[in-house]
Amino acid sequence: MKGGKCMKKNGRPWLRGLFAGSVIFKALTAFSDKMCSAFSGGIFGGGLLSYEKTEKACSESAIANGIRSLFGLDGRGAEKKRKIASIIENSFFARMGKRIFDILGSAYLSVYGMFFLSFGIYTLLVGLIKTVALRADDVSFLYFVIPLICIPVSVPMLLSKNRRLADQISESKLLSALLFSVFGLRRDCFRVKITGGGRRNIAFIIGTVFGASTYFFPPIAVIAVPVVIVAAYSVVLSPEAGLVITLFSIPLMIMTGHPSLFLAFVLIFITLCYILKAARGKRYVRFEAVDLFVLIFIAMFSLGALGGFGGIDVSLPLYVCLSSGYFLCANMLSSRAWLKRGVIALMSGSMLSSLFAMYQYLSGNVETTWLDTENFSSIAGRAVSFFENPNMLGEYAMMLLPIAVALVFSAKKRSERSAWLCVSVCTFLCLIFTWARGAWLGAIAAMLIFAVLYSKKTIPFMLLCLVLVPFLPVVLPESIVTRITSIGDMTDSSTSYRFYIYKSAIAMAADFFFTGIGAGNKNFSSVYVSYSYSGIEAAPHSHNLFFQLIIELGIIGLVAFVAAMLVYIQSTVSALNKEKDTYLRGLQLACACGVFSSLVQGMTDYVWYNYRVYFVFFAITGIGVAARRCGEHAREREYVPDYDTPTGADIEYVPTVTVIDESEQVPKNTEETIIL
């Protein structure tokens, strides 16, 4: 029995002993140790491990000081912030919003039941009038589905005795878990603060008005109005909850009809709510070297769209809004609780997208528009899921695959590990079903880097696996082998199409090497025509991220982007040596690998052509920075020895955090961290 426990605890010691005792494995381990030592002591490795020097140089620069002063990040103006907080909290809109929210929470469930009953009946009547009396042809099925839901739901609500909505939410395990644990809303927001329970006759009248209004407006739009108002006020209370929901719903935004515009408006609203919180002293903003370099690139990208050969590009506001995803994630997910919520939301959305892609492929509902059916007759088609293009779906899955794998390794419970393993497998299959070769290459490169940096013990196994590479064509399906070996094959229409676009792009880059043509698809299309080859006169982009940047922004823009990425990778690699937390370490590395995978695929496609993918790129960059900051905050809160006492004496705890509210902890004001 004792031996059984030992076997269960240590896994398979005989298997590890077999490898560890072999001469080949010992030689490979010694070789990997020398490689790691040489890398750490080399110029390149030393540069990647010296983010503190970069941070110190940037923090003392005139640009950083100017930005801090411009946005009030220099710790000054505390009295102004208190006045702003007083004005906002005592304003008519703030008091009215709080009053309405309190009334809604204090109302009895029977009041809501009367509203749903009235709304359902009158919506059904409107649907019958349009169908029978007016004989309209465009009557939506929602006129009948919504009443079938609202009327039965209203019955138990009407029968409830003096049960308030706020009490029901607080006592419900499902709603409590959703609102308080997942979305992070505070419980005191749902406490009953008004003695009255509402009036059912008023609820009946309001339901009648809403139901009758479906004659002029679609039922879903009528329902969306109160839902959006309540959701917006919830985001005002907790901007972080809005960001979490946004990360989850990235794929689902295709249902709005204008996903990019919808995402931009949501981010603008979340940003404004966060600024209001910061102005009131309830949130903080951190600005450091990596933020400075990212901000410089975004500023150059924005200025590049203001003037070009095609005029001012209308996509400029979209790019600026979506770029804010980096700063929102880096600052709003800086506590461990919010970081976990954001990551779970992002990966849950990825899971839905992957499941839908798998359904599309297995059911045969796939696209052949982006497939050379003559050369790849064995491939039925390519899945697109909630994205307009299989390559865009591949980029989305490719960037999130390292995060899913990292969560598998960092999970402490078997149930969590199984869940994240399922997410990883689904994301991997989704990536396969896109048949995006560039995304495959990016994912392979990212996972190799992840394996090497996660633990140097993986290097010997990877070197051993190189021996098995020649045998992969025997194991892999023929369709996958054919797809991989077609990379660079000029008989493939996609490859030849890109080849001639690359030739045109190189000529454009040479002519506009220093100035660029201006950012945006409009500028590119207006100039590309003069450089295009016959038969390829229309191309939306250069199918290469780096070509696109140098064409649009010139060499200075490309250097700014490369510098931002290098500083981000430098900050991550420097933190990996210090990070002891398995979850934070794996997440930092996975986010960096996700960004790296996008850069690898950027050599074969313009990965920012889809606005949502562009947002995800900067969002996971911000999540990686937030994970690093969480680790730094945790190390600052560690116990430190009291050097005034003899060795072995008690250890003094040095507190460095101030609790702002439930589930939020913020570091004290330092040169790097500014409490607003």
* pLDDT reported for residue 654: 34
- pLDDT-above-70 percentage for the chain: 81
* pLDDT reported for residue 657: 36
* Nearest alpha-carbon partner for 243 in 276, 270, 262, 275: 270
Mean pLDDT for the stretch of residues 542-555 = 92
Cα gap 568→288, rounded to integer Å: 11
DSSP secondary structure code for residue 315 in this structure: T
* Nearest alpha-carbon partner for 354 in 264, 428, 411, 289: 428
Cα gap 407→581, rounded to integer Å: 13
pLDDT at 343 over 90: yes
Mean pLDDT for the stretch of residues 393-403 = 96
- Indicate whether this model's pTM tops 0.75: yes
**Which tens digit of pLDDT belongs to each residue from 454-479?**
877 777 677 777 777 777 777 778 78
Cα gap 195→215, rounded to integer Å: 36
String of DSSP letters for 51-67: HHHHHHHHHTSHHHHHH
Cα gap 452→348, rounded to integer Å: 27
- For 580, half-sphere exposure in the C-beta direction (CA atoms, 13 angstrom radius) is 4
Cα gap 119→210, rounded to integer Å: 6
**Which tens digit of pLDDT belongs to each residue from 215-240?**
888 888 898 888 888 888 888 888 99
Q: Name the β-bridge partners of 641.
A: 651
Collapsing DSSP states into helix, strand and coil, what is residue 4? helix
Mean pLDDT for the stretch of residues 329-341 = 92
Cα gap 250→353, rounded to integer Å: 9
Helix axes 316-332, 336-363, angle to 10 degrees: 130
Are the C-beta atoms of residues 302 and 319 closer than 8 Å to each other?
yes
Beta pairing class for 657-661 and 651-652: unpaired
pLDDT at 394 over 90: yes
Q: Which of 151-177 are b and which e, b meaning 16 or more Cβ less than 10 Å from the residue's Cβ?
A: beebeebbeeeeebbbbbbbeeeeebe
Spell out the alpha helix ranges (H) of 385-536.
390-410, 414-434, 437-454, 458-465, 472-475, 478-485, 493-511, 521-528
Mean pLDDT for the stretch of residues 287-296 = 90
Residue type, 229: I
**Which tens digit of pLDDT belongs to each residue from 638-652?**
644 443 333 333 333
* pLDDT reported for residue 639: 44
Cα gap 404→344, rounded to integer Å: 10
Confidence of residue 81 (pLDDT cuts 50, 70, 90): low
117 Cβ contact list (under 8 Å, min separation 6): 150, 151, 154, 158, 204, 207
